[in-house]
Amino acid sequence: MRELVADLPRDLHRATQLPATGRVRLRHQCAMASAGHPPPVLVRPDGTAGAVDILPGPPLAVCGMPYETTTIDLEPGSVLALYTDGLVHLGPHHIDDGLRRLTDALATSCRPDRALDDTGRALLGDLVDEAPRDDATLLLARTRAVHAEDTAHWQIPVDPAAVSEARAWATRQLAAWGLADLLFPTELIVSELVTNAIRHGRPPAELRLIRHHVLVCEVTDSHSAQPRLRRARTTDEGGRGLFLVAQLAERWGCRHGQNRKTSWSEQTI
């Protein structure tokens, strides 16, 4: 059980830029897809709870069918409960009865002043009172929001010369945030991700920096092709971009949205 910040690269929190002032308007949303598991349960800050209306897809690696994405509003302070069917399919109880039981227990137990570790242990102790038919696993995540002043956006022009402009913009933003010690690795990460977006992606493209307990660098473009990490040979002139990102960042990855992808990296502050 842990807390999730709703602006880290898991698409729990999206932001759009206001053209007049350059500030951002925050939209707290969560995009999710199911590989056959029962639906997540959402506990809202007001204490109400309910299962998310999500269409389950096939189990992973079973077939090549696409997964349908469901997007929901997710206020800061909400708790999202993910679980296996062993937690709701107990003994003679029907799975729908088990889901209602879990939902009621979450609504009662998920209080803002209670740690998620304590809540999770108490829920498992109360719900798993007999031998489950399958493994019973529960994951609780509480969302928080990053303040608007800790998020910055820059639209990437369709021009290879924009890479140097992106580096300069990132340098100014990190200086304003007091993160001068991260200037050198961030410049390299920005260079590589923006270069990939210009060469291999499609416009429109955007660079985003997020400051929290980590510094997140995201580059989004309108092409769905998955970037691929590879080791360049000594005679290759390119192909080292993602390898450099992987060496400089604590974590990195790529997530997909509708008609777009986002390459991201995290550096510890």
What residues are paired with 183 via a beta bridge? none
22-54 pLDDT per residue, tens: 344 456 888 888 888 889 999 999 999 999 998
Please check whether residues 226 and 130 belong to one and the same domain. no
Please check whether residues 102 and 118 belong to one and the same domain. yes
Residue at token pair 């999500």:
54
Specify whether the CB–CB gap between 108 and 46 falls below 8 A.
Answer: no
Please check whether residues 136 and 225 belong to one and the same domain. no
65-87 pLDDT per residue, tens: 667 778 888 899 999 999 988 88
CA 209/CA 150 separation, integer angstroms:
8
More confident position, 185 or 128: 185
Specify whether the CB–CB gap between 253 and 9 falls below 8 A.
Answer: yes
CA 145/CA 4 separation, integer angstroms:
9
Surface-to-core class of residue 251, CB atoms within 10 Å of its CB (0-12 exposed, 13-18 middle, 19+ buried):
middle
Q: Which of 24-33, 95-104, 125-134 has the highest mean pLDDT?
A: 95-104
Domain boundary residue, one of 144, 161, 196: 144
Please check whether residues 25 and 154 belong to one and the same domain. no
Tell me: pLDDT of 212 over 80.
yes
Q: Which residue segment(s) compose the domain that 222 sits in?
A: 150-268
Number of structural domains, the chain? 2
> Side chain identity at 100, as an amino acid letter?
R
